[in-house]
Amino acid sequence: MPIAVVLTALLVSCAAPEAPFDEAGAIERGQGIARAAFEQLFTRVRMKMEAEGPSAAVAHCAVVALPLVDSLAAVHGVRIKRSSDRLRAPHDAPDDDEQRRLDEVLALLAGGARPADLPPQALVLGDSIAFYQPILINQPGCLKCHGTPGVEVDSTTMEVLARTYPGDAATGYALGDFRGLWSIRWKR
């Protein structure tokens, strides 16, 4: 047997046996988690807004506070995060791969893509699967805290936002705008 063939055979047999990446399955799983997280998050925000107004609900648009986030992390090692090119919370700042995906999405938008047509993405990232799903300003309620100050965002809410998030860049949005990404990861 020629030496090159032997070497190739050795290299192939020494490679770690890895299950092939099921991209469609990963996208489906990520979308299910993102949908559940959105529902849990916005149900809380909406209930608080209806009862006490948007300024009181500001503390409830945080993913960190969600029971679902904790339980999924405990059971499946799933990490749920959001990120954006126009950040409100510093803890949502993108890591390298999130920045890569944000740049891709912004390039698609600059090229004329409609926010509603932006695709999800799933890929292998080290020993994890990374999943990204665009988040849109998909209902008028979002504008109470992400719309135009003085128009949709009232002055009390602006005060609370300015106090809690000094570098806030997440106002001035309109209905249908791209707002950011769900970034969900789990062990491969």
The contact set with ligand HEC (CB under 6 A) reads 42, 45, 49, 54, 57-58, 61-62, 82, 84, 87-89, 92, 135, 137-139, 141-142, 144-146, 170, 179-180
In the complex, minimum distance from the CB of residue 55 to ligand HEC, in angstroms, rounded to a whole number: 8
Nearer to ligand HEC, 16 or 51 (CB): 51
In the complex, minimum distance from the CB of residue 140 to ligand HEC, in angstroms, rounded to a whole number: 9
For residues 147-181, one letter each, b for 16 or more C-beta atoms within 10 angstroms of the residue's C-beta and e for the rest, the string is beeeebbeeebbebbeeeeeebebbebeeebbbbb
Nearer to ligand HEC, 25 or 167 (CB): 167
The residue type of 179 is: R
Q: How many CA atoms within 13 Å lie on the side-chain side of 172?
A: 6
Tell me how far apart the alpha carbons of residues 178 and 188 are, in angstroms, rounded to a whole number: 29
Nearer to ligand HEC, 7 or 65 (CB): 65
In the complex, minimum distance from the CB of residue 78 to ligand HEC, in angstroms, rounded to a whole number: 18
Nearer to ligand HEC, 30 or 141 (CB): 141
Nearer to ligand HEC, 128 or 138 (CB): 138
Tell me how far apart the alpha carbons of residues 88 and 77 are, in angstroms, rounded to a whole number: 26
Tell me how far apart the alpha carbons of residues 10 and 3 are, in angstroms, rounded to a whole number: 11
Neighbours of 102 (CB within 10 A): 19
In the complex, minimum distance from the CB of residue 45 to ligand HEC, in angstroms, rounded to a whole number: 5
In the complex, minimum distance from the CB of residue 83 to ligand HEC, in angstroms, rounded to a whole number: 6
